[in-house]
Amino acid sequence: MEFGLTQDQTMMQESVGRTLERVSPLDAVRKGASAFDALLELGVPGILIPEREGGLGLTLLDAALVAEQLGRHVARAPFLASAVMAPLALAGTPYPKKLAAGEIKAGVAVSEHAAGARDGAGITAKNGRLSGTSLFALDADTADVFVVADKFGDLHLVERRDAAVVPLATIDATRSVARIDLDNAPAEKLGGSAERMIDAGRIVLAADTLGAGTRMLEKAVAYAKERKQFGRVIASFQAVKHMCAEMAAELEPCRALVWYAAYGFDALPGESRRLAAHAKAHTSEIGPFVARTATEVHGGMGFTDLVGLHYWFKRIGFNRQTLGGPERARDDAARAQGWVGN
């Protein structure tokens, strides 16, 4: 039994990492550059789309490995919604082939459902039309279509021209979210499950946080080996050693948790809700700890734009609350295990 990545998965992750290193260095992130075109050359937008529809036909674990690299490089790209969540809902329609080819991009509006605001909040559906408002639609700036969950969790497809899209500012400049206003907008009913789509999104967000946290740890260790105080590098100070060791000790279990949740999404569908919720909840708490501690290792330099730690810090903060914070995720895990009545 294999407990690690396959050679193909390792090569794919390294290839994505090299590509992002080339096209999305930190100065490009500061300018808001997108890595989408470079990822399209690797086929990443079609990573979960079957080969018969022009995609790569890979698993969610493969998508999570890509997400790790996106978090590691704080890359701006419509991956979470357009490449992971939307294809699950659009299976059986003509859209996956267009997504894989990069002809269109998709946004996803399920925040109310993910946060548990059901039966009375969000979008209402009637006679093939949708009305209402959905906050924090993901990958909204470049989306041509939106997958929208109504207040009961049913999924619908809405063309961008039929929706009023109002961009929203968040702490993370590398992500795009918007408020979607629908006024009797025509919509196509989709199959699939909103919960399963949310589970996939939570796992990918957890993987993104893992990548961002790992990079912050590496930067903290490298800085500690160079920065000198009192005639010695600060890495020789016991307090700094303890800070770096604590970050490493907290991050390492996250890797196994995220990878197993991603594996279980395809191999253990009956357990995917619980696994996804636990992965999201745990990394959502460890990520901010690592971000804070890595910043503290840098001292006053950690808050400067020159070092740029705040890009990873903010990305981790965004990941924490998107598709439900750790409290909501743990509630979903408890419900999946039958500990809380539905």
Per-position pLDDT tens, the chain of length 342: 467 899 999 999 999 999 998 875 565 556 556 788 889 999 999 999 999 999 999 999 999 999 999 999 999 999 999 999 999 999 989 999 999 999 999 999 998 888 876 554 578 999 999 999 998 999 998 899 999 999 888 999 999 999 999 999 999 988 999 999 999 999 999 988 899 999 999 999 999 999 999 999 999 999 999 998 898 999 999 999 999 999 999 999 999 999 999 999 999 999 999 999 999 999 999 999 999 999 999 998 888 888 889 999 999 999 999 999 999 999 999 999 887 655
According to the model, what pLDDT value does residue 29 have? 59
Residue 312 forms part of a structural domain: yes
Decide which of 124, 155, 189 is a domain's last residue: 189
CA distances from 270 to 63, 104, 196, 199 (A): 20, 32, 10, 12
Residue 2 forms part of a structural domain: no
Q: What's the domain range around 132?
A: 106-189
Residues 178, 48 share a domain: no
Residue 341 forms part of a structural domain: no
Residues 261, 150 share a domain: no
Q: What is the CATH number of the domain that holds 31?
A: 1.10.540.10
Rounded to a whole number, what is the distance in angstroms from the first to the last CA of the chain?
A: 36
Q: Looking at the chain, list the stretches that DSSP marks H as alpha helix, in order from N- to C-terminal side.
A: 7-23, 26-30, 36-41, 60-72, 86-90, 95-101, 111-114, 194-226, 238-267, 272-297, 309-321, 326-336
According to the model, what pLDDT value does residue 341 have? 57
> 246: Cβ–Cβ under 8 A, 6 or more apart, which residues?
293
Residues 325, 211 share a domain: yes
Decide which of 129, 155, 189 is a domain's last residue: 189
**Burial of residue 245, with CB atoms counted within 10 A of its CB: 0-12 exposed, 13-18 middle, 19 or more buried:** exposed
Q: Global pTM? A: 0.94
Pairing of strands 232-233, 228-229: antiparallel
Residues 328, 198 share a domain: yes
According to the model, what pLDDT value does residue 302 have? 86
Number of domains in the chain: 3
Q: What is the CATH number of the domain that holds 121?
A: 2.40.110.10
Q: What is the CATH number of the domain that holds 297?
A: 1.20.140.10
Residues 199, 327 share a domain: yes
Residues 210, 326 share a domain: yes
Residue 56 forms part of a structural domain: yes
| CA quadruple 64, 85, 25, 7: dihedral, nearest 10 | 30
Decide which of 189, 212, 238 is a domain's last residue: 189
CA distances from 194 to 20, 86, 273, 300 (A): 30, 10, 11, 44
| Torsion sign (Cα): 269, 275, 280, 281 | positive
Residues 257, 167 share a domain: no
Residues 260, 239 share a domain: yes
Question: Hunting for tokens 């609350």 — which residue is that?
Answer: 321
According to the model, what pLDDT value does residue 115 have? 80
In angstroms, the CA 83 to CA 72 distance is 18
Residues 217, 156 share a domain: no
- Phi first, then psi, for residue 232 (nearest 5°) are -135, 150
**Burial of residue 338, with CB atoms counted within 10 A of its CB: 0-12 exposed, 13-18 middle, 19 or more buried:** exposed
According to the model, what pLDDT value does residue 182 have? 95
Residues 131, 255 share a domain: no
Residues 320, 205 share a domain: yes
Residues 324, 214 share a domain: yes
According to the model, what pLDDT value does residue 120 have? 47
Residue 11 forms part of a structural domain: yes
